[in-house]
Structure formats: structure tokens, C-alpha cells
Amino acid sequence: MNKLEIIIKALDDKLAEDIVAIDMEMASPIYDTFVICSAANERLMNALRDSVEENMLNSGFEVKKIEGRRNSKWLLMDYGDIIVHIFDQDERINYNLEKLWSDMPRIDISGYLK
């Protein structure tokens, strides 16, 4: 499995909502992909973070940095070429990264979802 597939499946397995992957190669020399999802509450946000981190580590990929640990409504996980954004539902609407990056192509992740 590639990194994106591992991340998407880890999020999907823990019931992340509205998972989106955006191809950012043309917008950034640092990262290639944004993965964005929502969680219904802080407990689920933490479970999603833990699931991604564990599955990636088991596949040999170590997270470079995690931002927003306690009482956060937005978690960011940096895997170098892939940035994972885990949002509280209201916070996702507030920041609306999909609209901000609406000119960037979406990556079809349907094959990675249950």
C-alpha cells in the first residue's frame, strides 16, 4: 500500500466523515497531498489521529510533526509529502480548506474506502 492508501483506510476504519484528498503538487514544493476529514467529537478526532499514526508507523512511515493535541478542534499531521487535517465538524466549515484550494484537483480515493 502507498502512503495515501494507508492514511485513507486508517481514517475510514475509524469512521472519519467526508474524507477528501486534494492534489497540491502544483501549489507547493513541500507537500503533494492534503487529506481532509471531519470527526463528530474530540474523542473521535484523537482516535483518528492514533489510527493514522499507528498504521503509518506499522508500514514504516513516521510522522514528522503533529499540531493541535489537547482540546483542539483541528489536528494536523505532517508526513512530509502528505498533510492530514482532522477537523471538528464546525471548525472544518469555518476554515473551509476545500474552498480555499478549490482550484486544485481532487484525488479519487473511492477505491480506498469501504
Q: What is the dihedral of CA 64, 70, 71, 76, to 10 degrees?
A: 0
pTM of the predicted protein model: 0.94
pLDDT tens-digit map of 91-105 = 999 999 999 999 999
* Mean pLDDT score of the chain: 95
- The pLDDT score that the predictor gives to residue 32 is 95
Predicted pLDDT of residue 101: 93
**SS3 for 103?**
coil
Confidence tier at 38 by pLDDT (50, 70, 90)? very high
